[in-house]
Amino acid sequence: MTNRIAGFRAPLPIARAIVQPAIAWGLVATAALLLALAGQARAASDRALAAGLPTLAPMLEEISGAVVEIVTERELPARQFSFGGNELPEGLRRYFERFPEFDMPNGPQPRRRGAGSGVIVDADAGHVVTNHHVINDASSITVRLGDGRSAEAELIGSDARTDLALLRIELDDLVEIAFADIETVRVGDFVVAIGNPFGIGQTATSGIVSALGRAGLNSNNYEDFIQTDAAINVGNSGGALVDLEGNLVGVNTAIISGSGGGNNGIGFAVPVDMVRAVLGHLERDGEVRRGLLGVSIADVTPEVAEAFGLGGETGAMVMAVSPGSGAEAAGVEVSDVIVELAGEGIGNARELRNRVGLLRQGDEVELALLRGGNRIELEAVIGGADGSAVAGITGSRGPQSAGFRGALLRDAGSNLNGGSGVEVTDVGERSGAWSAGLRPGDVIIAVNRNEVASLADFNELVEDAGGLVGITVLREGREVLLLMR
């Protein structure tokens, strides 16, 4: 039997004779080197800093006191048996429920403990930001600092749609983290995630900004996540994502992981500009009273841009305008393309929805939009409706290849009510027209913003349009834009 060592082939006894002394001398040399460096480790670190060698230690020493542990308790429902604060599995609960003598209604209320992280953002006011899901339904919230102090926290407010919450604690000599300028954050920037993973204590991990503007984790929420490969694990929720200067870039909120629940290098943080806006709402009202512009919107895709002659413009296309809304009062029309809000460009429908949703009801904003190739500027007042979402993003009903063969049309003038346009009398529920949103009773009044007075007009305009067609219909007294082939 032989053993191969660094390209040298020798019988095994000879190899052992060579290797064992080498290993022994290697261990001795390593131990001697460590002993020699032990007394001057700090001096070596100072020399490394002076030489410009990278280390995160000075930054972390300055801000780590601002990242805290959040400990929560939740009361379990009656007869929801638990052991050690953890709910029993379904099978065991069913077993115990068969025996009433195990039920102790006069005993202590069972509780479930939870843990997460938080960030002190205002030392004077004692304000701590964390995730909504960390403190949701908690009967008590305790904030523990890295120096060993702790305090019961008051919940000022929380917002499930952005997964943010604001707490207040009363302690002296707190450390806070300054907010970064989100406009300077780029993909590839180095970042550090700080939190309390698995409840083991404060931990810092480093990585880069992997992507910006991530969305789609929950379509009902307001999402504009920073994606990072810095390790974020269970318990990191609510912790800080900071740049190399120690400024807060985002609040860690979610990960994509396998069945084990650990880090796979895909973590998400709520960007600091959204954090700032939400905290303003929570501090003032205890909740986010979302603004309502009153439009349904869709992305301007390349096909839409070609059909409407928009060139390379980006923005959000208005698919419908709500009666009595701020958008209607301002003069926004169906098939307008909103390209700016308050002087800042709009890239897509999600971006407009997020930004309007963080405005306060009653705010006046300037809108810039494209209509028939012309730029128009309007002023709108943000309304509200019981905190409901802003401008709804229409579903991706997309254009269908079946055309209009599934819909029966006739001149609106042939209807007893008279009028111009083309009336939809019937639509097959499995047809392309139905999938695109066309319904019986709709009256088609325009194709690609060109007025339709009759079936002849409609057929001619659709034939000339070729590919994607924007159909404006009148439905229950308001205009709705549908996109189809």
Give the residue numbers marked as catalytic: 133, 163, 237
Rounded-to-integer distance, Cα 331 and Cα 315, Å: 18
Which residues pair with residue 122 across a beta bridge? 127
Four-CA torsion 128, 134, 135, 138, nearest 10 degrees: -150
Nearest by Cα to 335 from 445, 465, 481: 481
Inter-axis angle of helices 12-38 and 41-50, nearest 10: 80
At 169, list the tokens. Answer: 């604690």
Rounded-to-integer distance, Cα 291 and Cα 167, Å: 24
Nearest by Cα to 400 from 428, 370, 420, 423: 428
Output b/e per residue, 393-409; b: 16+ Cβ within 10 A.
bbeeeebbebbbebbeb
At 292, list the tokens. Answer: 């309502």
State the DSSP H helix or E strand holding residue 313, giving kind and residue range, or none if neither: none
Q: What is the DSSP string of 178-199?
A: PBP-GGG--TT-EEEEEE-GGG
3 state SS of 334:
coil
Sign of CA dihedral 366, 368, 369, 370: positive
CB 68 within 8 A of CB 118: yes
Output b/e per residue, 296-326; b: 16+ Cβ within 10 A.
bbbbbbeebbebbebeeeebbbbbbbbeebb
Burial-class residue 189 by CB neighbours within 10 Å (0-12, 13-18, 19+): middle
CA angle 286, 291, 294 (to 5 degrees): 155
CA angle 233, 238, 242 (to 5 degrees): 85
- Give the count of beta carbons closer than 10 Å to the beta carbon of residue 287: 13
Nearest by Cα to 322 from 358, 341, 297: 297
Rounded-to-integer distance, Cα 290 and Cα 459, Å: 43
